[in-house]
Homo-oligomer: A and B are copies of this chain.
């Protein structure tokens, strides 16, 4: 029996890595892409459909589940895995990002954040201790430190927020009780390399079983994101998984893996599906376009997903235009497949030692396709 939360590093190619992170709900083979089930459900898909997609882990959102149906209710019903009928690994975020983006902020102090619910306007306070308590009630395999994610360009604010995030990370570690959950730290610091290094060093020093990079893909330029990703992983332990939060276009995943990232999540594949858009490794396809009206081909040639194996672009276009639920469902299946399949491919080429060739080829094809992601 392998001890929980050990990370087996299986292969490296440049900075890219293939590994296995062991959790109480089974191993996670990295690099991995995690679909998002914000409210304890991936929008429109059953767990059976997610299993068929080779989904290894899901993300769920603490902020949403705390407000509705409530973490205590989920605990009383046996925890998130039982509640949502998902027996593979789950990761919950800390609620931090959502409090700042969805709630109406009332007050931020070093103690925590007071905010109004986006559902009914009721007042709530989240602190590091409260976030951990909620996440222990939810019972995910991986839980996250409560953090603050500010505008990435505001230097003064980022300094203050980073300090708070560090204090809060320490308090989260102190507050944590359950032994069957891994608490990951989060590096912040906006677009400022020196702050990012300082943050990575501090978080690494707290010796979490895994470390995350937060506050990216929040409005900064891609080149700025890459600059941070060029630096931060070097300051995080090699023998712990690295998680790039909320980032997940195909190009982001490839470029993240090239810089030593192991775990990704993003709402984009299911959100784009609800916005009538199919993704490919190198671009996007708006299925409502007239050119697809009579197109008997699949969304993406040679794609192995259920949607592409069984349906034409013409049919999916019809569904989307007729507001049939099956439209976004098939597009979600396809879009998640693209990212999960890409992650599995990255893992294979790293293990085979051919990642650098894959990367070169991928970047040149991306350029050809106009980086339309």
- CB–CB B69/A314 < 8 A: yes
The answer to whether A46 and B326 touch (CB under 8 A), given A315-B84, A318-B69, A321-B68, is: yes
- CB–CB A46/B314 < 8 A: no
The answer to whether A43 and B324 touch (CB under 8 A), given A84-B315, A315-B84, is: yes
Interface string of A279-322 (1 = CB under 8 A from B): 00000000000000110100000000010001110110111011
- CB–CB A314/B77 < 8 A: yes
- CB–CB A85/B318 < 8 A: no
> Is the CB of A41 closer than 8 A to any CB of chain B?
yes
> Is the CB of A73 closer than 8 A to any CB of chain B?
yes
Task: Name the distance in Å between A296's Cβ and chain B's nearest Cβ.
Answer: 6
Task: Name the distance in Å between A116's Cβ and chain B's nearest Cβ.
Answer: 18
Copies in the complex: 2
Residues of chain B within 8 A (CB-CB) of A40 are 315, 318-319
Complex Cα–Cα for A69 and B42 (A): 29
Checking B39, B49, B293, B326 against A73 with a beta-carbon cut-off of 8 angstroms, the contacting residue is B293
What are 23 sample pairs from A and B whose C-beta atoms fall under 8 A apart? Answer: A39-B318, A39-B324, A41-B324, A42-B326, A43-B326, A44-B44, A44-B329, A45-B326, A46-B326, A46-B329, A46-B330, A68-B322, A69-B293, A69-B314, A69-B317, A73-B293, A73-B294, A73-B314, A76-B294, A77-B296, A83-B314, A85-B311, A325-B325
What total of chain A residues lie within 8 Å of the partner, measured CB to CB? 41
The answer to whether A43 and B73 touch (CB under 8 A), given A84-B315, A315-B84, is: no
Residue ID in chain B nearest A84 by CB atoms: B315
Please name 5 further chain A to chain B contacts, defined as beta carbons within 8 Å, in addition to the given A46-B306, A69-B314, A73-B314, sorted by A numbering: A39-B319, A46-B329, A46-B330, A69-B322, A77-B296
Residue ID in chain B nearest A295 by CB atoms: B77
Task: Name the distance in Å between A367's Cβ and chain B's nearest Cβ.
Answer: 35
Task: Name the distance in Å between A341's Cβ and chain B's nearest Cβ.
Answer: 19
Task: Name the distance in Å between A326's Cβ and chain B's nearest Cβ.
Answer: 4
Task: Name the distance in Å between A58's Cβ and chain B's nearest Cβ.
Answer: 13
Residues of chain B within 8 A (CB-CB) of A48 are 306
Residues of chain B within 8 A (CB-CB) of A296 are 77-78
